[in-house]
Structure 1
Amino acid sequence: MKNPLPRAVGCAMLLLASFTSTFTHATDITPAETKAIAEEGYIYGLPIVMNYATMYDYAVDKNSGQYKAPFNHIHNMHNVFSYKDTAIVSPNSDTPYSLMFMDLRSEPIVLSVPTVEKPRYYSVQLIDNNTNNFGYIGSRTTGSEAGNYLLVGPDWKGMTPPGIKKVFRSQTQLLFVIFRTQLYNPADMPNVEKIQSGYATQPLSAFLKQPAPPAAPAIDFPKFDKDLVKTDFFKYLGFALQFAPATPEEVAIRAKLARMGIGADKDFNFQDLSAEQKTAVVEGMQAGHTKVLDAVNHLGTQINGWNIVSSGGDAAFYDGDWLKRAAIAQAGIYANDAEEATYPMAKILSDGTPLDGSKHNYTITFPAGQLPPVNAFWSVTMYDGKSQLLIKNPVNRYLINSPMLPDMKKNADGSLTLYVQKDSPGTDKESNWLPAPNDLIYMVMRLYWPKTENPSVLPPGKGTWSPPAILKIN
């Protein structure tokens, strides 16, 4: 989906074999209450902590191996994601990314985009620290023309300045911006780079040619890694909450967390709890994680073995349903709104049998005239079924997408068959080969800017178009 789960918050970290954190006071609540709050708090906080992991890797720790750029600076990737990229799970390998974490504490930021000639698709996804999509710039929403857009924090009360096309308000002071620019083929990369060079940001004061306001205080970011998150999940959550004023739907859960010493102005201290309460916290988090995994398996509608998920959304889309938000983040953090991209995902055959490249070969056949109905483009991407990461393969092919159609072979009846297997199907079929792992398989179909007229995949799981069944061929 997702676009994607940060490396530092993989499933292994959530087994919580050991949990020694920091907690301030909770001796006045029973172990049963402690377990219930830890469970609900874990579900509420998982996307927030996952986002912090990505932010730390991309914008804070220059030695992370995944570092991109400091806050308020755009990092343009002149390549698509490969098996070497491990910070985000289920990464999109269709579009070169430009990425930026943004800090709006001192003043708003002006984000500028160049003209992007049709039919090339591009999008700028605006995501707050809670993983809510609070706006889009791009082909679908604002068109292909150049423009300046203002990104403001939750407390900004200024007027829209001249020269600004639209104001986008984040509910959090820190946020993440994901630019996607369509790449037609490898030779097209210079054209993508030219567009990327036109993406720009500047403080509002610089845009208005006015003196800058005082700088915000430096942030002392707590070190993040997969071992520390086992011990300090709620410490990371409390840290992140200081940049996110509570919205009305968050008041209740934040009050519960505060009873356990978890919050923006608190320092969670696990050691102050009794042994019974420590056990309750661990059990609560484990129960929360079990619920998240179960919710992932029930996120969407099963059609032909594909799970068509409703994708991500804004705060109103989640409406306080923290389990839905956590499940979408676990399935692929930073998922687009369904109207921007819809994601059928497959791990099983129609009969429920897991897809396993070590045991079987598979095919996916689109009947003639029934390719995915999109305004932009579509793709089918292969991932390792356990890690949800791209897999190394002999042809360096991680996906098949619609720009590749001219080089693919259609069947005599006009249908298109994809060969999903670990070994080459033969030189005559290799153009249609989607290399699979020698293990469990996870596939994501991405439908960018899906059509709304029939046939359509929208609304997700209830549309008039469905992905074809995956068939076992040996």
Structure 2
Amino acid sequence: MRYWISALALGASLGSAHAATLDQQQAKALAQEAYVFAYATVEHDKVLSAIAAKLPFNRLYSEPRLLGPQDNKVVSPNNDTFYSRALLDLRAEPQVLQVPVVKGRYYSFQLVDMRTDNLDYIGTRATGDQAGRYLIVGPDWKGKVPSGFNAVIRSPSRLVFLLGRTEVKGEADQKDAAQLMSGYVLQSLSSVTGSVAPAALQPLQLPTYQDTKQGPAQALFSTFNALAPLHQWSTREQKKLERFAAIGVAPGAVFQAPADLSEAITQGAEAGREQVRTASSQISVEQQGWLRSPTNVGKFGDDDLTRAAVAWRYIYANDPVEAVYPMALHDAQGQLLDGRHAYRLHFAAGQLPPVSAFWSLTLYDGKTQLLAANPIQRYALGDRSPGLQYDADGGLTLILQPDAPAQHSNWLPTPEGPFNLLLRLYLPKGGVLDGSYRLPTIARVEP
């Protein structure tokens, strides 16, 4: 780690000489661009640093409980699955994930790099329901892959976030789901093969997360500089970083804005944050209140703005083939969803979500993007919810309002003030993926 930082910092010092050629407007524009580029990596640090503070690297932690309003480390968490998580430090050697036979239940392990791209998946869709062993390799490992592995997953990041989801089919199913999770095992390659472990490296020290949505926007650059050496940047990304070095944004460097450009860089960072915030509410073309998931979610490429917007609104979104997340901020008339009003969300007959796994509708507080506390502790409704009452024609109407209605089983309580909705479609079928599926209508009910 120390070698990477010192070497890259040298490059940063050379690049910063170009600051003399920037005028105020150019510096502001460059800072705005750098903010958008860096945002997802820095927002990722919220989870990385929180986990690292409680859990050793390369240790899998499976938590057999459904998340609630008190869980504030990840925006827009689901209330459908148990989570497993681990931070894979791949600097010294690869890690191995072993999974058991999983039949009749959806599960997945999503591997996320430092750019918040999804590297690959292990689970129901990607690898099937049989037991398997999977080798996860960082960019510095040059060893020969031993026999006995179902697949090799290669990462450009030296630190990988492993995020597992195990379906829970209701209250009575939680014990069985928890038992299954005990079969997930994470080990180092040397432990699996019985070989000599490589020499221990200096422990990783992740920067303390600073809220990206509050405080000085340019604080993001300090965190990015500290995290950036953990990723092997592509040639195209390196060219961007070479330009950003002129304003002090460089892997391994201590962020220091050139004195004569400091105010312009401050303004540019603030403009970048506003650009990301705005984009997070305009992720796609809105259709009757719904914003469909971008088609490049999880594999963003050079689309830095969509990458940042997704990280702002619902970080760690799945690849579309794994799950699709249409989001609603407005009703069908274009009015902001607000708990002061009552709504009816209606799936027309024949238009229940076409999925191979399951679907759910989750409600979030519009200000925090966290689950909204309510007296009955109900945060989502979906095809596994007990007692749902379907319409006479086979459609489904869900009730969104603060007070309990007569049809209690179809009620999703709303908070005071604005809220938004995520419709999660796990293993979506063709109509969802090609955009032809008709999303449900959200109609305000007048008193």
Q: TM (normalized to structure 1)? A: 0.87
Secondary structure in structure 1 of the residue aligned to 2:142: coil
Q: CA deviation at 1:311?
A: 5.8
Alpha-carbon distance, 1:159 to partner: 2.8
Is the counterpart of residue 386 in structure 1 residue 373 in structure 2?
Answer: no
Q: What is the Cα deviation at residue 58 of structure 1?
A: 1.6
1:291 aligned residue = 275
- Aligned partners of 1:141, 1:222: CA distance in 2, in Å? 33
How far did residue 192 of structure 1 move? Answer: 0.9
Give the deviation of 1:220 after TM superposition.
3.1
Write the mapping of 1:120-269 to structure 2, written as runs, cut at 5 A.
Answer: 120-226=105-211, 230=217, 232-269=219-256
Structure 1 residues 351-366: aligned runs within 5 Å: 351-358=333-340, 360-366=341-347
Q: Could you tell me how far apart the structure 1 residues matched to 2:433 and 2:68 are?
A: 29
Asked if residue 412 in structure 1 is aligned to residue 419 in structure 2, the reply is no
Residues in 1 aligned to 2:206 and 2:275: alpha-carbon distance in whole angstroms: 29
Alignment size in residue pairs: 429
Paired with 1:313 and 1:230, the residues of 2 have a C-alpha distance of 25
What residue in structure 2 maps to residue 84 of structure 1?
Answer: 70
The counterpart of 1:369, out of the listed 342, 345, 350, is: 350
Superposed counterparts of 1:4-43, under 5 Å: 26-43=19-36
* Deviation of the 1:78 alpha carbon: 1.1
Task: Indicate how the Cα distance of structure 1 residues 109 and 245 shifts in structure 2: closer, same or farther if over 3 A, else same.
Answer: same
CA contact under 8 A between 1:311 and 1:328: conserved in structure 2?
no
CA–CA distance in structure 2, aligned partners of residues 136 and 306 of structure 1 = 27
User: What per-residue deviation string (whole Å, max 9, x for no partner) do you get for residues 276-298 of structure 1?
Assistant: x2210111111112221232233
Q: Which residue of 2 aligns with 1:10?
A: none
The answer to whether the 8 A contact 2:16-2:246 is kept is no
Task: Please tell me the root mean square deviation across aligned C-alpha atoms, in Å.
Answer: 1.8
CA gap 1:222/1:410 in 2 versus in 1, 3 angstroms: closer
Q: Secondary structure at the match of 2:120?
A: strand
- Aligned to 1:224, the other structure's residue is in SS state coil
> Which residue is 2:438 aligned to?
466
**Within 5 Å, which residues of 2 pair with 1:108-119?**
108-118=94-104
Quote the offset at 1:304 in angstroms: 2.5
Identity of aligned residues (%): 38
Which letter maps to 2:241?
Answer: R
Deviations 1:75-99 (A, max 9, x none): 1111111001011111111101011
How far is 1:188 from its partner?
0.8
CA distance in 1, matches of 2:154, 2:216: 30
Counterpart Cα distance in 1 of 2:348 and 2:41: 42
Question: C-alpha displacement at 1:374, in angstroms?
Answer: 0.1
Amino acid at match of 2:301: D
Higher mean displacement: 29-38 or 80-89: 29-38
Q: Which amino acid aligns with 1:411?
A: D
Deviations 1:150-171 (A, max 9, x none): 0001232333211100011111
Once residues 411 and 313 of structure 1 are traced to their aligned partners in structure 2, the CA distance between those partners, rounded to angstroms, is: 34
The match for 1:398 among 379, 402, 406 is 379
TM-score computed with the length of structure 2 as normaliser: 0.92
The aligned residue for residue 324 of structure 1 is 306
Q: Deviations over 1:262-316 (max 9, x none)?
A: 222321124x513xx22101111111122212322332232221111126645xx
1:282 aligns with 2:258: no
Q: 1:305 aligns with which of 289, 299, 304?
A: 289
In the alignment, the residues of structure 2 paired with residue 250 and residue 244 of structure 1 have an alpha-carbon distance, to the nearest angstrom, of 11
Shift of the alpha carbon at 1:241?
Answer: 0.7
1:314-368 deviation digits (Å, cap 9, x = unpaired): 5xx322121121111112111100110001110102221111111x100112223
* Matching of residue 445 in structure 1 with residue 437 in structure 2: no
C-alpha contact (below 8 Å) 1:311/1:335 kept by paired residues:
no
Unaligned runs of 5+ in 1: 1-22, 63-68
Stretches of structure 2 that go unaligned for 5 or more consecutive residues are 1-14
